Amino acid sequence: MPRTAVVALGGNAITRQGQAGTAAEQEENADRLAAGVADLRAAGWRVVVVHGNGPQVGNLAIQQQEAAERVPALPLATLVAMTEGALGSLIDLALLRADPDVGVVSVVTHVVVDGADPAFSNPTKPVGPFMTLDEATHVADELGWTVGEDAGRGYRRLVPSPAPQKIVELAAISGLVEQGAVVVAAGGGGVPVLAEGASYRPVDAVIDKDLAAQRLAAALHADALVLVTDISRVQLDFGTDTAREVAEMTVEEARGHQADGQFPEGSMGPKIRAAIGFLEEGGTVAVVTDAGRVRASLELGPSNGSGTRIVPATRIGAVS
């Protein structure tokens, strides 16, 4: 039976730090990410792609505000849907350039959240471009946005980030995967919605894409969760003289490092939480690495050519 991997691509991998986010830059970055997905598919894996949208949805929010005197600004939930469609198209085309024979489809995905989630009263999810303190203070005063520092890299807008509860389009996604399609789903974490009887209502928030990928991977009974970022391996004591890479961690080791404050919420924290959650729900392996090491991380185990693997209590080696 084919193995299934859910691969989560960061929005910061599509618009990299220091880039303006032009169409040409995003296309070049998407091609690099698509090559890793194509390599994994060539090894016999079924692949579901989840992407982030933090920089893109924040930029779109700025465009909406700047044009508000001419065109009414749209709510954040709508901007999430807009970026889900736009980035889905970008990734679809990149995957087709990497493998013209691939069957690929993007699914605009809605994800149920809890209206009582404390995240709605404590915005923590960074979106949009990095700003200086002066710039952040200005937009906070002018637009009423909540702003805060993002992992020491600068200041960004902060929005609510409730926990994902359920994937609304799960049956459709599962059916497409069974047919062998590469499915791009839950983009930007999906459009957050509240369940109201038999229907749903969108709500302004941005779901963390790693946690949405975890929820989707668990629901699909995937074998692997791959969290693609811009580093090859997780580091302990990151940014210090004692920084060291980690090839493999058990769930218990990962939980201990997390409790020690090794993985800040603004950077590695959600990825490690997603990995732990996926394994606790029956997953085989979770990987944190860059696009070029995805296949090696799953096929070769904790070798020099792979990323960081998080595994159950018993170390398992390569996924079979």
The C-alpha atoms of residue 177 and residue 220 are separated, in whole angstroms, by: 9
* DSSP-based three-state secondary structure for 267: coil
Phi, psi values for residue 225, rounded to 5°: -120, 120
| Concatenated DSSP letters of 46-82 | EEEEEE--HHHHHHHHHHHHHTTTTSPPPPHHHHHHH
Q: What are the start-end ranges of the E strands in 229-296?
A: 235-236, 244-245, 248-250, 285-289
Q: Which residues are catalytic?
A: 11-12, 125, 209, 271
The C-alpha atoms of residue 208 and residue 226 are separated, in whole angstroms, by: 15
Q: Which residues of 184-211 are buried (b: 16+ CB within 10 A; e: fewer)?
A: bbbbbbbbbbbeeeeebebbebbbbbbb
